[in-house]
Structure formats: structure tokens, C-alpha cells
Amino acid sequence: MFVRTESFREFIRFYPIITLIICIHFLLFLATSLPILPSREIFTLLAGVNLYIMEGEIWRIITPIFIHSGFAHVLFNSFSLVLFGPALERMLGKTKFLVVYLVTGIAANIATLFLESPTYTHVGSSGAIFGLFGFYLAIIMFRREMLSRENSQMILTIAIIGVIMTFMQANINITAHIFGLIAGFLIGRIIYSNR
């Protein structure tokens, strides 16, 4: 389930939303990194800055989901999406997967807006990725038969390690991680608890 055996071409065909998100990640990373472009201005325009959001720059609730602070950051988040996203894109379909990804990322950024200081700045797709973990946790709780015992144990282990690491590393948006996880769980509960 979480082992990728597809060719590059098959991956693109089977998981078009994940492919699109990762392309956006890397295109924006290049746009905010290359010295030939006004990279600093692009980064500043798209980063989540709570004060600017409060002043009406609402797009900053969405755009931080797609930009990252460095190559290691974009690589780690994109790799996490490649590992854990495909099973959900297949289960939910393209549209629902995209909605879950965006809604959990936006929920993480809204929580950051309300719980962090006005000067707080944040970027990265971690809130949305934790949202996927939260959705998996809802599947484990409400539709256990959809995942094998081994995959359920793997998800639980990775989610626990992810939460622990959130509190142990510097420069992590703890609020986004936790509220992305909660948002994913709640969406999963809404979708699966009544079936």
C-alpha cells in the first residue's frame, strides 16, 4: 500500500493530483530560489504572515501549503506525499482527495492565524500532510476493514512519531501539524462514521 512499484509514467497516470501538487511544490521552490527571478519577492508574497492575513491578504491562508523554505523542506514534504498520498487518492478519487488535502492545509493555516502571534510567518505543506495522517486515523477507527493490520500499525506508528518529532525539532509550525491532523481526522469521521 505504501510501497511504490509504479513506473514514473504510471505514477503520473494513476495519481494526477499528487503529481500536480508536487510539480507546484518544485516550480514554486525554483521560483523562490533562482537568482534570475525576483525570488525573495515571490516568497514574501506567498508566505503565510499572520499580520498580512489579518490585513486582508486572504490568499496567504492557501499559498503557504505549496511553498517551502529550502530544498530539504520541499523534498521531505514531497517525498511524504508520494509515500502516503497515493492510497488515499485511489480510495477517495481525485476530487475528494484534493478537497481533503486543501481543507486540512487551510484549517492548519487558520489555526496558525488564530493561535500564533501576528508576526508569525509560516510555509510548507506539513499541515496538509498531517491532515492525510488524521484521515488515515479516522479510517482505522471507523472503517478498520479498509486497511490491513500491518498498514494500520504503520500509520499509527508514523503518526505518533510525527507528533513527537513536531515538539522536538526547531522551526516547526506545531499548531499547523496538530490542527492539520485534527482536521483530517474530523473529515474522515464525517465521511466514514455513518457508513
Mean pLDDT throughout 54-72? 96
Helix axes 94-115, 174-192, angle to 10 degrees: 140
Backbone φ and ψ for 121, nearest 5 degrees, come out as: -120, 135
CB atoms within 10 A of CB 76: 16
Residue 39 has pLDDT above 90, yes or no: no
Asked if residues 86 and 34 have their Cβ atoms less than 8 Å apart, the reply is no
pLDDT-derived band at 109, boundaries 50, 70, 90? very high
Residue 162 has pLDDT above 60, yes or no: yes
Mean pLDDT throughout 162-174? 92
pLDDT-derived band at 171, boundaries 50, 70, 90? confident
First-to-last alpha carbon distance for the chain, in angstroms, is: 23
pLDDT-derived band at 40, boundaries 50, 70, 90? confident
Mean pLDDT throughout 22-44? 91
Mean pLDDT throughout 4-21? 95
* Distance between CA atoms of residues 194 and 171, nearest Å: 39
Q: Which of 165, 59, 50, 55 is nearest to 111 (CA)?
A: 50
Residue 105 has pLDDT above 90, yes or no: yes
Domains of the chain: residue spans and CATH: 8-192 (1.20.1540.10)
Residue with cell 503518526: 159
DSSP state, residue 71: H
Residue 194 has pLDDT above 70, yes or no: no
Residue type for position 101: Y
pLDDT tens-digit series, residues 146-156: 989 999 999 99
* Distance between CA atoms of residues 157 and 146, nearest Å: 18
CA distances from 53 to 57, 69, 83, 99, 177 (A): 5, 19, 32, 22, 19
pLDDT-derived band at 64, boundaries 50, 70, 90? very high
Mean pLDDT throughout 170-193? 94
* Distance between CA atoms of residues 58 and 121, nearest Å: 14
Residue 195 has pLDDT above 60, yes or no: no
- As a whole number, the mean pLDDT across the chain is 94
Give the alpha-carbon dihedral of 76, 82, 87, 92, to 10 degrees.
90
Strand spans (E) along 6-106: 48-49
What is the set of active-site residues?
Answer: 126, 177
Residue 183 has pLDDT above 60, yes or no: yes
* Distance between CA atoms of residues 97 and 93, nearest Å: 6
Residue 114 has pLDDT above 80, yes or no: yes
Mean pLDDT throughout 156-168? 92
Mean pLDDT throughout 78-104? 96
